[in-house]
Chain A
Amino acid sequence: MLKFENVGMRYGTGDEVLRDLNFHLEAGSFHFLTGPSGAGKTSLLKLLYLAHKPSRGLINFSGKDIATQSHRDLPKIRRRIGIVFQDFRLFEHMTAFENVALPLKIHGATDAQIKDHVEELLAWVGLKDRINARPSTLSGGEQQRVAIARALINKPDLLLADEPTGNIDPEMGRKIMHLFVELNKLGTTTVLATHDQEFVKSMGASVLMLERGRIMQLPGHTPRDPQKKKWGR
């Protein structure tokens, strides 16, 4: 589904912040992206959500070499990737409904399709009663769930989340994490970036560990026993 071969990345003419990345994420798998601050997690996420091009190497997404895609073709690929940012990045002048509807509008969905899908998804993340609320009136956990709903509304092939529990309290963090597990069950390949090693260990999922721009631990085979590891596929 997603393959990195000898990938390196640098900002401008600076030194490489990511070096010799080689890994493969299978479709429907679940992974944590971990490492200390400055290890390159955010840079790797930027490569994954196509905000940056590699300075070398090959990134293959669903059989397509990202480097050879034209500027015009990249938006179509981006629509297959859902992103949840640490700071949520919701549009403050829009309601929860409008924020979640945005990817569908970009995709060209009809008003009826948008209404059905958005209401259903917001209900699924527990925000049925907050549909018309603006982000400034929502709690951190609610904003995070709106951000997750927005990332999922297009049924992405790949879901990326950058420190999704970083700005919310621990209890809400656990709920959000379980929400990602549920999403993964629907078939979405999921990568969660976090520096919370304790939490990663407690979940027992596949880990891609970075340190000083290099991979120190490759993503392993995702456990499949649904009783022991809920995110297995």
Chain B
Amino acid sequence: MILRPRLKFLPDGRQGEGLLPYVIAVMVYLCGMALFAGFSIQSGINNWSNGLVSRVSIQIEATDKVVREQETIAALKMLQATPGIKSAQVIADSEVMKLISPWLGDISLMADLPMPSLIDVELSNPGSINSDALKVRLKDIAPHAEVDDHQTWMSDVLSLASTLRTVALIMVLMVILCTIAIVVFGCRTGLATHKKSVELMHLMGAEDSTIAREFHRTFMMHGLKGGIIGTLLAVLTLYILSNIMENIGEGLLTSFNPDASIIIMLCLLPLFSMGLAMITASLTVRRALLKLV
């Protein structure tokens, strides 16, 4: 269809839509950023959850140091003997203090503060143990033990991530709908500008597809041009943000580095905008031509 010889009944580059490629570029830029945000959230949450679903933390919260140590040893032995647990180790007091120092400040001044014992458990596979059964067994041998399998707060974080992904998807859909509307308006402007030429072609016996092809070729190029500009701007923005984030810290922010799937997706954006503009223009012109006898 695209390779058929053109009739060129429309003068090149004079269809009254001069700024259209740049408007499409803005839309593609917004679409790229929203997609990137959605993918990054997904990627970040995956990184988190993959690390956490295979781990369980156990706190022994007895205030009496002797009791705490006895329960810790008993719990450690039981955990190491439990099938489905790859490893279990007590976290040193100094490490525990480091973990809580951001909240309590200089803990060297509070040496007598009773600190809970922490046991870090690595599972063989995610879900390889029954948390509830483990809690019951631990309570028998270490009454002050509390099991944290991260499920409660993980489910809140996953719920938040899911909401953010949905918001990003809605943004992408809105940008696509805006792009379609822009192309429809541009196409109608082109049709109005060249009404006499279109009517003449129609009266000379040109089929709707032949007339529509002249328009959708033009809009296809606008879509491609806008797509390339918008994608380049999005890549530039992500590059700058990535550099800034690298200097800020780790954790969730590390997911700001675009992975291969995001880069491929961004590279496909110009083709997507080209196809979207072409199909929208073709349908708009054909629909308008149907109104002619």
Interface residues, chain A, CB within 8 Å of chain B? 49-53, 71-72, 74-79, 83, 89, 91-94, 98, 102-103, 105-107, 154
Contacts and interface: CB of A to CB of B under 8 A. Distances in A.
Contacts of A92: 11
Nearest to B207: A75
Contact of B9 (A75, A79, A102): A102
A103 B290 CA distance: 21
The contact size tier of chain B is 20 to 34
A50 B95 CA distance: 89
Which of B8, B11, B200, B203 counts the most chain A CB atoms within 10 A? B203
B204 A106 contact: yes
Contact of B293 (A74, A76, A103): A74
B205 A106 contact: yes
Interface of B: 5, 7-9, 11-12, 196-197, 199-208, 210, 290, 292-293
Contact of A52 (B210, B290, B293): B293
A53 B292 CA distance: 10
B206 to A, nearest CB: 5
Contact of A71 (B203, B205, B290): B290
A107 B11 CA distance: 21
Given A49-B203, A79-B205, A93-B11, A105 B293 contact: no
Given A93-B11, A102-B7, A53 B293 contact: yes
Contacts of A75: 202, 205-207
6 contacts: A51-B199, A77-B205, A83-B203, A103-B204, A106-B204, A154-B205
A79 B203 CA distance: 8
A92 B9 CA distance: 10
User: Shortest 6 CB-CB distances between A and B: which pairs?
Assistant: A79-B205, A78-B205, A93-B11, A75-B205, A106-B206, A75-B207
Contacts of B205: 75-79, 103, 106-107, 154
B204 A78 contact: yes
A127 B256 CA distance: 69
Given A89-B196, A105-B5, A51 B210 contact: no
